Amino acid sequence: MAVNNERAGSTPLIERRSIDYIPEAERHGRLFSQFTLWMGANLQITAIVTGALAVVLGGDVFWSLIGLLIGQLLGGGVMALHAAQGPKLGLPQMISSRVQFGVYGAAIPIVLVCLMYLGFTATGTVLSGQALGQLFGVSDSVGILIFASVIVLVTVLGYRVIHWIGRVASVIGVIAFVFLFWRLMSQTDVGALLQIRHFSWSSFLLAVSLAASWQIAFGPYVADYSRYLPSATSSVKTFFAAGAGSVIGAQVAMILGVFAAASANGQFAGHEVAYIVGLGGTGATAALLYFSIAFGKVTISTLNSYGSFMCIATIISGFKGHLTVTRMQRLIFVLFIVGAATLIALLGQHSFLGAFKSFILFLLAFFTPWSAINLVDYYCITRERYDVPALADPNGRYGRWNLLGISVYVFGVLVQLPFISTKFYTGPLVAALGDVDISWIIGLVLPAAVYYFCAKKWHSAVPDRLILPVEQNSTQQAKTSGAGRAAAQA
């Protein structure tokens, strides 16, 4: 632990690495930071709105709560399995996808991941803009611009600041949510709401899908925030630290959303932030709640923006070769990403709720097959035995394009189409299933099974151990730094 704290103390405030492998000498942090980061990322207004959708779109309180919990556990398990890869590989999540898709082929799911981050950042910015607009007495559009400026600053600073904000956000979030739950219980007959039970498969599975999609959407970048942990960190402990923080935080937020929507008498949709704050009161109390909502969104919006930056850098490095991103280049990338998300937020702020529901459900068609392939390969085929240096070499072990991974991924997307039910597209089998969307289940199970059996037969040679880059330079720097500190103390 002393070594860990020493490493953290010698780490610069502004992160100097981007998509590089993190040498052991630069590893730092504790498992508890994974819990607080993901707790803070989920105790926020968008999660409240996601839970509320289960009721707004026709579900009752009792079965919506059960459906959301099942979805959290299923999706959270997928998310946490990705988190456990970070300390072992020391790499951002999407670079490791080159094992399954090839150095060039990995760009296919990464482009879609970038679009996901863009959408989540935009939708989160809409709600944050509402909160800041009320807090400072300005328009929602001005609030959106203020929030975007904060996100740019935090994203540019990088990993350490993001984790620090996650810890602060988790504390503020817990205080705000305890207060809001107390106010809600004092104003609403919760027992009466729980007694209304009208089970329907469509509403129940909608709740499951909302929560599962929420958790699975973290999968493409969750390892980005665990990759600095020492490589000896237990995979099981990493799984539970990240998974528990995310599942508990999201479920608490969604429970509040369910009860708020059920007691709102139709006043929730279109006035999400104002209604939630109204539960807490007016004046100074309302101002503090608006602040907590905006601050809570800082964590997750920064994760999305940072993830977008990492993905763009990953795509470029795949085709260009090794890429060293300077701080100025990082700033340009981040300005472009946040600027695009802000523009989307400004244009779509008045049709937020319906668009958001369709967006997060449609995402599942593209990310469940990627998760299935990545996890089956890592845990069942290669069994953590990656050749990390080869991930940067198009002529190396993993090649430019991995036709097996790409083919199974395309199959995984296409096989879901008959079962998808969104405003963007509704499959031909949805009506026969009582308007129940089961596409995400199909997208997890079938690609996983197909990839497992095909990879067992046709997978390229797997290393007999995990091969990591040579760390001579970093090791020497660490020794020199340690000698300097010892001399200073002497």
CA 452 from centroid of its chain's CA atoms? 25
Q: What angle do CA 163, 167, 170 make, to 5 degrees?
A: 130
Give yes or no for a contact between 439 and 427, defined as CB atoms under 8 angstroms apart: yes
Distance CA 8, CA 475 (A): 16
State the DSSP H helix or E strand holding residue 21, giving kind and residue range, or none if neither.
none
d(CA 389, CA 278): 54
Instruction: Please report, for the chain, the start and end positions of each structural domain, with discontinuous segments joined by +.
Output: 28-358
Alpha carbon distance 201, 375 (integer Å): 29
Identify whether the C-beta of residue 104 lies closer than 8 Å to the C-beta of residue 319.
yes
Tell the burial category of 490 from Cβ atoms under 10 Å away from its Cβ (0-12, 13-18, 19+): exposed
pLDDT at 354: 59
pLDDT in tens, 352-371: 555 665 666 677 688 889 99
Q: In this model, does residue 484 exceed pLDDT 60?
A: no
pLDDT score for 482: 43
Integer-rounded Cα radius of gyration of the chain: 22
Residue type, position 276, single letter: I
Strand-pairing partners, residue 426, are 421
Confidence of residue 12 (pLDDT cuts 50, 70, 90): low
Beta bridge partners of 421: 426
Give pLDDT, residue 476.
45
Task: Concatenate the DSSP letters of all residues of 133-181 into one string.
Answer: HHHHT--HHHHHHHHHHHHHHHHHH-HHHHHHHHHHHHHHHHHHHHHHH
- Count of CB atoms situated within 10 Å of the CB of 346: 17
Contacts for 272 with CB less than 8 Å, ≥ 6 apart: 45, 48, 49, 52, 127, 130, 352, 353
Please state the rounded mean pLDDT for residues 75-79: 94
Q: The tokens of 66 are what?
A: 């059960």
Report which of residues 115 and 349 the model is more confident about: 115
Tokens describing residue 416:
């879901």
Distance of CA 224 to the CA centre of its chain: 10
CA distance 379 to 240: 17
DSSP for 253-311, please give it: HHHHHHHHHHTSTT-STT-HHHHHHHHH-SHHHHHHHHHHHHHHHHHHHHHHHHHHHHH
Task: Read off the pLDDT of each residue in 319-323 and give the average, rounded to a whole number.
Answer: 70
Which among 309, 341, 324 is positioned nearest to 110, based on CA atoms?
A: 309
- For a pLDDT cut of 70, what percent of the chain falls above it? 87
Cα 115 versus chain centre, distance: 13
Other CB atoms within 10 Å distance of the CB of residue 148: 23
pLDDT digits (tens, 9 = 90+) for 40-75: 888 888 788 889 888 887 888 999 999 999 999 999
Give percent of the chain above pLDDT 90. 26
Of 63-67, 162-166, 358-362, 463-467, minimum mean pLDDT range: 358-362
Confidence of residue 392 (pLDDT cuts 50, 70, 90): confident
First to last CA, the chain: 22
- In the prediction, which pLDDT does 4 show? 52
443 against 347, higher pLDDT? 443
- Assign 3-class secondary structure to 382-420: CCCCCEHHHHHCCCCCCCCCCHHHHHHHHHHHHCCHHHC
DSSP, collapsed to helix, strand or coil, labels residue 426 as strand
Mean pLDDT check: name the lowest of 23-32, 65-74, 311-320: 311-320
- For residue 477, pLDDT over 50 is answered with no
Length of the chain: 490
For the domain made up of 28-358, give the CATH fold: Hydantoin permease (1.10.4160)
pLDDT at position 488: 36
Q: Six-digit token pair at 422?
A: 């969104």
The pLDDT value given to residue 343: 87
Separation CA 53–CA 400 (nearest Å): 42
Q: How confident is the model at residue 351 (pLDDT cuts 50, 70, 90)?
A: low
Q: Is the pLDDT of residue 379 over 90?
A: yes
Compute CA 196 distance to the chain's CA centroid, rounded to the nearest angstrom: 33
